[in-house]
Amino acid sequence: MSVQDTAGEEPHENARQEVIAVDADDAEQGLVNRLEAHTGDGIRHRAFTALVFDNDDNILLAQRSPEKRLWDTHWDGTVASHPVQGQSQEDATRARLDDELGIAPSQYTDLRVTDKFEYKRYYPHEGVEHEVCAVLKCTLDDTTLDPDEAEVAGLMWVPYERLYENPKWYRQLRLCPWFEIAMRRDFD
C-alpha cells in the first residue's frame, strides 16, 4: 500500500503521522511514516502498551474501535500507541489515557515503565506491527472513565491473574498480540 493518493482518494490518517524508528536496543534511528512502518514487512519502531488496574488487581481491558486499521475490535490491555519524537513513554501514556478514556493524571500516582520487549506480528491482509514496546502500569484511585467512542468500542474490568491462568475462558475476546506478550511476561 502506498501512502500517496490513488485516484483522488484521501490517504489513510496514519499516512499523515510519523513514528520513531529504532534498533533492537530501542535507540532512535530517525522518523518514518506511520503507515509505511505498519505495511509490507514493517519498520521496527517505538511503541508502548499501558496496563491500568483498580485497587483489587483487576485490569481494564479496552476493545479497539472497529475503525482501527490493525487489530480492530480486538481487546487491548487498556491503551497502546506510539510516542512522538521528544516525548517520554510516560508522557505519551498520560496523553493516550486522557484522549481515549478520559483518565486524568490526578486519578493515578504510580505510572511506571515495568518492561520492554520487541515483537513482530502480521495482521492478515492489512499490515504488520514490528515494535520495541514499553509496558507501563498504573493503578487508578478514581475509576471514573469517559471513553472516546472513536477509539474504544467497549470496556471491561477483568481479574488479571485469572485472565492469564484461564485463557480458554477468554479466547473469544481476541486479545491484541502486544497485550498477550506483556501479560505472559508478567507471569512467566
pTM beyond 0.85, yes or no: yes
pLDDT at res. 69: 84
Tell me, yes or no, whether 85 lies in a domain.
yes
Nearest one of 83, 63, 80 to 72, comparing CA atoms:
63
Catalytic residue among 100, 131, 149, 165: 131
Tell me, yes or no, whether 94 lies in a domain.
yes
Tell me, yes or no, whether 2 lies in a domain.
no
Q: Find the CATH number of the domain harbouring 39.
A: 3.90.79.10
Q: Going from the first residue of the chain to its last (188 residues), give the mean pLDDT of each consecutive group of 10, the final group possibly shorter.
A: 43 71 96 94 96 97 90 92 95 97 96 97 89 98 95 96 91 92 95
Q: What is the pLDDT of residues 143-157, one digit of tens each?
A: 999 999 999 999 999
pLDDT at res. 4: 42
Tell me, yes or no, whether 118 lies in a domain.
yes
Domain count for the chain, please give it: 1
Tell me, yes or no, whether 1 lies in a domain.
no
Collect contacts of 169-176 with beta carbons under 8 A, ≥24 apart: 173/61, 173/74, 173/75, 174/73, 174/74, 174/75, 175/74, 175/75, 175/76, 176/49, 176/64, 176/71, 176/74, 176/75, 176/76, 176/77, 176/80
Tell me, yes or no, whether 47 lies in a domain.
yes
Supply the range of the domain harboring residue 169: 13-187
Tell me, yes or no, whether 5 lies in a domain.
no
pLDDT at res. 183: 97
pLDDT at res. 124: 84
Tell me, yes or no, whether 146 lies in a domain.
yes
Is-catalytic flag, 161?
A: no
pLDDT at res. 15: 59
